[in-house]
């Protein structure tokens, strides 16, 4: 709905030169749902349930670097900077460029995929990191969604998951590990800190680490143990 309102505002303001009409268009407040987050064990099961090395590597990039599904799809081999341990994201949201982290284990997995893909003749030094059915085209986001759904179903994960769930899990797990929220914001490529701060609502380990003021009152002492015999 808000996208329609934005389009009408542009139409009235710039096309019809009627800014007064545009002022009457009010954006609707949208209730943002909590994202689905996988536990670390569920992420492990999901990645191990993939049926080939290319699928496992692609989903590992989504989780290990926190990339959007479209960003994973559009990665090229040359975007891997193993010297600086970075992934260059050249087709991010809104056309933004940024650097994403490249964990050591992810680099090992990507090298395994490179060797296998090169042997199969589908990987080229200037080609796509994850080619689709045709080597000249990247894997589609639709296919990545299907891979995640099938892997989740095969492992018995009842949550409604998608490739973006891995990105949500990446951010939440970093937050639970005590990583500064502004660093997470930069890794995710968020323009606004409030978008990153939203993950504090699902960081359960962070919540569990906080001691409630009630516990410090000492009102509910444990019952004394009965004497033996």
Write down the residue that tokens 């796509």 correspond to: 128
The active-site residue, picked from 9, 76, 88, 93, is 93
Nearest residue to 172 (alpha-carbon basis) of 4, 29, 50, 43: 43
167 flagged as catalytic: yes
What is the mean pLDDT of each successive set of 10 residues along the chain, which is 229 residues long? 62 62 60 83 96 96 96 95 94 72 95 94 91 90 96 94 95 91 90 82 72 72 66
Sign for the CA dihedral angle at 30, 72, 172, 97 comes to negative
The active-site residue, picked from 9, 45, 164, 205, is 164
Concatenated DSSP letters of 157-177:
--S---HHHHHHHHHHHHHHT
164 flagged as catalytic: yes
Give dist(CA 215, CA 98) in Å, integer.
Answer: 44
Q: What is the model's pLDDT at position 218? A: 73
Q: Give me 19's structure tokens.
A: 């800014």
Q: Cα(first)–Cα(last) distance of the chain, in Å?
A: 73
The active-site residue, picked from 54, 168, 173, 190, is 190
The active-site residue, picked from 167, 182, 205, 208, is 167
54 flagged as catalytic: no
Q: What is the model's pLDDT at position 66? A: 95
14 flagged as catalytic: no
Give dist(CA 52, CA 92) in Å, integer.
Answer: 26
> 40-207: which CATH architecture?
Orthogonal Bundle (1.10)
**Cβ-count burial 112-122 (b if 16+ within 10 Å, e if not):** ebbeebeeeeb
- CB burial class (10 A; 0-12, 13-18, 19+) of residue 227? exposed
Q: What is the model's pLDDT at position 5? A: 60
Distance (Å) of CA 26 to CA 6, 19, 21, 32, 127: 9, 13, 11, 18, 46
63 flagged as catalytic: no
Domain map (residue ranges) of the chain: 1-31, 40-207
């Amino acid at each position: 709905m808000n996208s329609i309102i934005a389009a009408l505002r542009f139409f009235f303001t710039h096309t019809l030169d009627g800014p007064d009409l545009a002022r009457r268009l009010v954006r609707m407040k949208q209730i943002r749902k909590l994202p689905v987050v996988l536990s670390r064990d569920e992420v492990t099961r999901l990645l191990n349930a993939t049926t080939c090395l290319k699928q496992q590597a692609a989903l590992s990039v989504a989780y290990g670097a926190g990339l959007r599904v479209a960003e994973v799809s559009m990665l090229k081999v040359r975007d891997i900077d193993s010297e600086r341990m970075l992934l260059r994201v050249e087709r991010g949201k809104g056309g933004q460029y940024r650097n994403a982290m490249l964990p050591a284990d992810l680099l090992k997995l990507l090298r395994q995929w490179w060797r296998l893909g090169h042997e199969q003749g589908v990987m080229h030094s200037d080609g796509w990191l994850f080619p689709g059915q045709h080597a000249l085209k990247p894997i589609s986001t639709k296919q990545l969604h299907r891979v995640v759904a099938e892997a989740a179903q095969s492992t018995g994960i009842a949550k409604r998951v998608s490739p973006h769930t891995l990105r949500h899990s990446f951010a939440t797990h970093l937050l639970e590990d005590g990583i500064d929220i502004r660093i997470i914001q930069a890794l995710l490529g968020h323009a606004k800190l409030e978008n990153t701060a939203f993950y504090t609502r699902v960081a359960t380990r962070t919540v569990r680490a906080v001691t409630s003021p009630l516990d410090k009152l000492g009102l509910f002492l444990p019952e004394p143990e009965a004497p033996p015999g």
